[in-house]
Amino acid sequence: MDTTLCKILVVDDEMLVRQGIIHLLDWEGEGFQIAGEATNGREALELIELQRPHIVLTDIVMPVMDGEELIRLVKGMYPEIEVIVLSSFSEFEYVRSTFQSGVADYILKPKLEAASLLAVLKKTAQRIPLLQFDWRGDKAQSADYILDKLVSGFPVEYEAEALQAIFPFPGYVLLLADIGDDAAGGGRKEEWLESSFRSLLQNGDRVTCRRLSPLEGHIRLLFNLDADRREALLTLADQVFTAGIRANMFQNVAVSRTFTELNELHTVYTVDLMKLLDRRFFLPDRCLLVDSGEEERPGPVFDQEAFAAELNRQEFDLAFGRLSSYVSSMSGRRHTGMFEFKSFLCHSMFQIIGMLLHFHYEARALDDSKYEYFRIIHEARHIGETEARLEQFLQDATECVTKNRSGTPAMQKILLYIDEHYSGQLTLTEVAKQFHFNPSYLSNYFALHNKEGFNEYLNRVRIEKSCLLLKENPGLSISDISSLVGYSDHSYFTRVFRKLMGISPSQYRKG
């Protein structure tokens, strides 16, 4: 007798709950099939129209459209579909109200276990006249069940012979198509993708194709092939996805290395292919990404010490050029992660702003807009967008430098000298001698071209350095730190520190 699997749609806004249900049972072995998953009622209605499930298993409290409204609409539009409610104890009053809309049953989330869920589902399925299935539940594990467990990283015991007829060849390649947020159109795209490959594969190609369950906007196809058929498969993939991407069906496609054990499936998917998709940020013009299985040689490393030294010497043209050249060189390189790169870039911009402010350049506007720069960089979809934003930032920073330098080039040299020699017994007379000034003239010159007088500026530099030492060197005593930043009198250091910071050095260290 022909059997019809009972199709189930799982609706819950918590991914862990959905995945817990999906991986709780050997669904096909029990006579069921997961037709899809949705995060709210609106998504569920779109999938119901496409998949026409027999049973909807839904949460009550969800964003966008909650379970109560979903149930009312489903029973009004599709009265033949049965609905089972998932709820917690605190939602029981909501659950009771849903029975007026024709809910078949409910199950409490704290009691969500395989046996109880299966009992409720089988009881509900027996109410559906069109279903014909032997509900004894003594079926062997299906291949889809085993593969779904393997790719998701859930432990599963199975006989290798059970899959031998499906996978007769020694090698495997996992292919991942990114469809973005188009969950409702995923089923149509899956079918198109699988049928396209099957139509191109010939019996003599020694390559088979099997669709895995979709997850998080990804379509996954598993290919079983002879070792020498990888290049032929890549040629087919290029043909299929060129057509699919032109039709706006996919955003990117990633093809894994060849592996020989199905137990590697989870690692290949979650580590290799997801890392490969992460690298597309640096490859904006590449839609088909292929993992060769070989370690890629890292490109040149950014010289952070040289960059910091150039900023400290106010050699801004060199520092800005160094950063710009490095970012430009990143296009096409895949050894760096996207988030690592974006964090590096924001940190470098933060360094630049900090040094401009330290040397009294008019950079307040740049400082005020830094978080907008950071936001745009973190939202950038590819390397080109970050390059454009960095160049705008460097132009703004260059204008800050140009405005200040046009009037006081000597002042910048004096500030740099103080910054490099603050730890010694530095005096106005010594600095005046270094720059061939009369001490009285230097005092007036300093006050004219700087917001602070000589002593005020020197104290601020020393206290800023002492703050770093207090936080980063807990083993140093406060007396030692006062000496390291140029104060011979510990009590005087404490008074100056309290005046500028509002608290004592010991309180600052504890905070």
End position of a domain, from candidates 290, 316, 333:
290
- In this prediction, residues 186-196 reach a mean pLDDT of 73
* 259-267: long-range pairs with CB below 8 Å, 24+: 259/171, 259/172, 259/173, 260/170, 260/171, 260/172, 262/147, 262/150, 262/163, 262/167, 262/172, 263/150, 264/172, 265/147, 265/150, 265/151, 265/172, 265/174, 265/222, 266/150, 266/151, 266/152, 266/153
Instruction: Please indicate, yes or no, whether residues 422 and 380 belong to a single structural domain of this protein.
Output: no
Q: Which range among 77-81, 145-149, 306-310, 493-497 shows the weakest confidence by mean pLDDT?
A: 145-149
Mean pLDDT throughout 242-247?
74
Q: Between these two residues, 364 and 249, which has the higher pLDDT value?
A: 364
Q: Across residues 371-391, what is the average pLDDT?
A: 88
- Residue 378 CB-density burial (10 A; 0-12 exposed, 13-18 middle, 19+ buried): middle
Residue that is written with structure tokens 């991914």 in the block:
15
Residues 398, 415, single domain; the answer is: no
* Structural contact between residues 424 and 488, judged by C-beta atoms closer than 8 angstroms: no
Residues 316, 401 contacting (CB under 8 angstroms): yes
Query: Any idea what the CATH number is for the domain that residue 461 is in?
Result: 1.10.10.60
Of 239, 264, 290, which one is at a domain's C-terminal end?
290
Whether residues 425 and 318 fall in one domain: no
Task: State the Cα–Cα distance between residues 475 and 498, nearest whole angstrom.
Answer: 21
Average pLDDT over residues 316-340: 83
The CATH number covering residue 109 comes to 3.40.50.2300
- In this predicted structure, the answer to whether residue 218 has a pLDDT above a threshold of 80 is no
Q: Does 387 map to a domain?
A: yes
Coil, helix or strand at residue 110: helix
Q: Which of 179-188, 249-258, 265-274, 333-342 shows the lowest per-residue confidence on average (mean pLDDT)?
A: 179-188
pLDDT at 14: 87
State how far the Cα of 20 lies from the Cα of 112, in Å rounded to an integer.
9
Q: Region 376-383: what's the mean pLDDT?
A: 86
Confidence check: pLDDT of 181 > 80:
no
Residue 437 lies inside a defined structural domain of this protein = yes
Do 393 and 413 sit in the same domain of this protein? no
Mean pLDDT of the region 437-447 = 81
The reply to whether 329 falls in a domain is: yes
Asked whether residue 216 falls in the same domain as residue 133, the answer is no
Q: Cα(134)–Cα(148) distance, rounded to whole angstroms?
A: 23
Q: Over the range 333-350, which residues count as b (16 or more CB within 10 Å of their CB) and which as e?
A: bbebebeebbebbbebbe
CA dist., res. 182 & res. 301, Å (int): 38
- Within this chain, do residues 16 and 113 fall inside the same structural domain, yes or no? yes
First-residue to last-residue Cα distance in the chain: 76
What pLDDT is stored for residue 213 in this prediction? 74
**pLDDT tens column, 469-483:** 998 888 899 999 999
Share of the chain above pLDDT 90, in %: 20
Q: Do residues 100 and 185 share a domain?
A: no
279 plus 312 within the same structural domain: no
pLDDT digits (tens, 9 = 90+) for 102-151: 788 777 776 667 777 888 888 888 888 777 665 555 555 677 777 877 88
Which one, of 218, 237, 224, lies nearest residue 177 by Cα?
A: 218
Q: Is residue 153 part of a domain?
A: no
Check whether 307 has a pLDDT greater than 90: yes
- Residues 284 and 381 occupy one common structural domain: no
- What was the pLDDT predicted at 234? 85
Q: Are residues 30 and 87 in the same domain?
A: yes
Number of domains in the chain: 4
Q: Are residues 276 and 362 in the same domain?
A: no
Does residue 352 lie in a domain region? yes
Flag whether pLDDT at 201 surpasses 90: no
Expressed as residue numbers, the domain containing 121 is 6-139
> Which candidate, 24, 1, 39, places its Cα nearest to that of 9?
39
The stretch 68-76 carries a mean pLDDT of: 89
33 DSSP assignment? E
- CA angle centred on 223, ends 220 and 227, rounded to 5°: 145
Instruction: Report the C-alpha gap between 400 and 309 in whole angstroms.
Output: 19
Name the more confident of 442 and 141. 442
398 and 421 share one domain? no
Which of residues 242 and 490 earns the better pLDDT score?
490
Asked whether residue 145 is domain-assigned, the answer is no
Among 370, 405, 440, the domain boundary falls at: 405
Instruction: Output the domain CATH number for residue 253.
Output: 3.30.70.100
Q: What's this model's pTM, rounded to 2 decimal places?
A: 0.49
Within-domain flag for 298: no
Mean pLDDT along residues 160-178: 84
| Amino acid at site 88 | S
What residues does 178 pair with on adjacent strands? Answer: 218, 252
- Residue 154 within a domain: no
316-329 and 304-312 helices, crossing angle to 10°: 150
